[in-house]
Amino acid sequence: METFLFGLATFAIVCASPGPAVLAMVTTAMARGMGAAMRLNLGLTLALGVWGLFAAAGFGAVLAAAPSALIGFKVGGGAYLLWLAWGAGCAAIRPASGTLAIPSGFRAGLILNLSNPKAVFAWTATIAVGTPPDMPGLAWLLVPLTMVATVLIYAIYGLIFSRPLMRGAYASARRWIDGVASGLFALAGLALMRDGAFALARRS
């Protein structure tokens, strides 16, 4: 049981750590409120659940052994993050106030986490540390429990950053916040595409 709980805690820490998904939750909550943030939350969580099922079925090892597929995932995921960066950047240069110009609904969350190949490797590591060697079937129980934890973690972010104080801060510093979001999305996208390019160069 301790091993199982350690795996659950490991994934919760990874989920709560700053990254593209958390950035999307924070900016969506400030720009569009709790309702939009929760729709994004459900999409992000469902995508992580899909990756979790793949990891429990051993897909992580398959993906690692198929470099062409992995490179494609990295390039595609990086391109999507750059597209989010473009949307946030366009919002930052507009003088008129408005909401963040990036997708923020259920489908956006689904695409954001499905396009991140690092998720399946995070899951593979979580299952490795959270599943006792003599009870491999617990991996299938770990997935739904971590999905519940993911919903709660993202909901906490949404609740905090959708408060009137946070939304007021966004309204008064919208262009700066959108600009920072654009830069962070761009850095994450370029890093993912760089990994794909390096992997492709090693194969050549």
pLDDT in tens, 15-36: 888 888 899 999 999 989 999 9
Q: Hey, what are 111's tokens?
A: 């695409």
Mean pLDDT across 144-156:
91
| Tokens 């659950």, located at residue | 8
Q: For position 172, what pLDDT does the model report?
A: 87
Dihedral (Cα; 31, 76, 65, 119), 10-degree rounding: 0
What are the residue ranges of helices labelled H in 94-117? 106-114
Q: For position 72, what pLDDT does the model report?
A: 76
CA–centroid distance for 194 within its chain: 18
Of residues 129 and 77, more confidently modeled:
77
Give the chain's length.
204
In 3-state terms, what secondary structure has residue 116? coil
CA–CA separation, 199 and 119 (whole Å): 18
Residue 204 has pLDDT above 70, yes or no: no
Banded pLDDT at 203 (limits 50, 70, 90): low
Mean pLDDT across 163-171:
92
- Per the prediction, the chain carries an average pLDDT of 82
Q: Are residues 185 and 88 in contact, defined by beta-carbon separation less than 8 angstroms?
A: yes
Residue 91 has pLDDT above 70, yes or no: yes
Of residues 144 and 42, more confidently modeled:
42
Mean pLDDT across 115-123:
75
**Cβ-proximal residues to 47 (8 Å cutoff; 6+ apart), any chain:** 109, 110, 111, 112, 113, 114, 119
In 3-state terms, what secondary structure has residue 101? coil
Q: Are residues 182 and 85 in contact, defined by beta-carbon separation less than 8 angstroms?
A: yes
Which of 12-26, 129-143, 159-173 bottoms out in mean pLDDT, i.e. has the lowest? 129-143
pTM here? 0.82
CA–CA separation, 134 and 143 (whole Å): 18
What are the residue ranges of helices labelled H in the chain? 2-16, 20-32, 34-56, 59-64, 67-93, 106-114, 118-130, 139-161, 164-172, 174-203
CA–CA separation, 127 and 162 (whole Å): 33
Mean pLDDT across 87-101:
70
